[in-house]
Amino acid sequence: MDAVRVADRDRYLAALYAPEDKRPALLALYAFNAEIAAIRDRVSEPMPGEIRLQWWRDVIASGTKELGAGHPLATALMTAAETYRLPIAAFDNYLEARIFDLYDDPMPSRTDLEGYCGETASAMIQLAALVLDPEDAPKHAELSGHAGCAQAITGLLRLLPKHRARGQCYVPKDILAASGLTPEEFVAGGDDPRSAVAVQAMVALAREHLRAFERGAKALPATLRPAFLPLSLTPAYLGRVERGKDGMSTLRKHLTMLATASRGWR
């Protein structure tokens, strides 16, 4: 709980709306996600990061808590996976997608970006949904896909200064080309108006997935809402990106999530 509260406040708040008996599994998933997302910041070059990802792949593939014994997060994650019969393939695909984070290669295309978002953020939502309601979760897999893309693209936009500082480019090359930019020019930043065009194209892509999610979100059963609750903050985050600002008060996050948790999406 403490790890998620510090590293991923939005998912932490969302987990508080889940039934108490489901929270440990959700927090294990979210702590795992935060742990993997932070690997790039903890290694000086890609290979140690790949080794760390492989360790997690081996632990999860073993299907037992023995290989990760002594690692509290690994134990918690494997307990959740075993208790709720979470698909091992989803974790394997997640870890494979995260290899991209370790390198400075530009994102090739919009399709590749959506695939990356699908294997990471969308997978987290779907796994959380399986914990919350294993019977209804599979019926809403497509919504998880759109929700994860909207959430992840918004997150990438908010982290743009950090990614530029370390030479990473998550904006797809085809979107950059349409804006008249190369990845190198975009990463360099500055006041180039073409960069603003590329950012706006990413905002539009996030909104496209957000609208697709919202069209179907009315049908989400209340049991699954906690898995999707961070999406309630996405419209406000995108508005701040467009205005060149970031951040949101914890109080506003609470109030927004409370409203959505109570009534769902309209």
Neighbours of 61 (CB within 10 A): 14
Q: What pLDDT was estimated at residue 255? A: 95
**CATH code, domain carrying 250:** 1.10.600.10
Binned at pLDDT 50, 70 and 90, residue 5 comes out as: very high
> Is the confidence at residue 67, as pLDDT, over 80?
no
Provide the 3-class DSSP secondary structure of residue 229: helix
Per-residue pLDDT, averaged over 153-161, amounts to 96
Range(s) of the domain holding residue 97: 2-263
DSSP 231: G
pLDDT cut 70: percent of the chain above it: 98
Q: For the segment 77-126, what is each residue's pLDDT rounded down to a tens digit?
A: 999 999 999 999 999 999 999 999 999 999 999 999 999 999 999 999 99
Binning pLDDT at 50, 70 and 90, where does residue 135 land?
very high
Integer Cα distance of 197 and 242 in angstroms = 11
Residue 258 clears pLDDT 90, i.e. is over it: yes
pLDDT tens for 209-225 read: 999 999 999 999 999 99
Q: In the chain, what's the furthest Cα-to-Cα distance? A: 54
Calculate mean pLDDT across residues 10-31: 97
Cβ–Cβ contacts within 10 Å for residue 248, how many?
A: 15
pLDDT classification of 68: cutoffs 50, 70, 90: low
CA–CA gap between residue 104 and residue 163 (Å, rounded)? 9
What pLDDT is recorded for position 206? 98
Instruction: Determine contact, residues 59/82, Cβ cutoff 8 Å.
Output: no
What's the whole-model pTM score? 0.94
- The number of folded domains in the chain is 1
Q: What is the mean pLDDT of residues 240-259?
A: 90
Q: How far is CA 168 from CA 102, 171, 184, 187, in A?
A: 9, 9, 9, 7
pLDDT recorded at residue 63: 76
State percent of the chain over pLDDT 90.
90
d(CA 173, CA 179): 10
CB atoms within 10 A of CB 80: 21
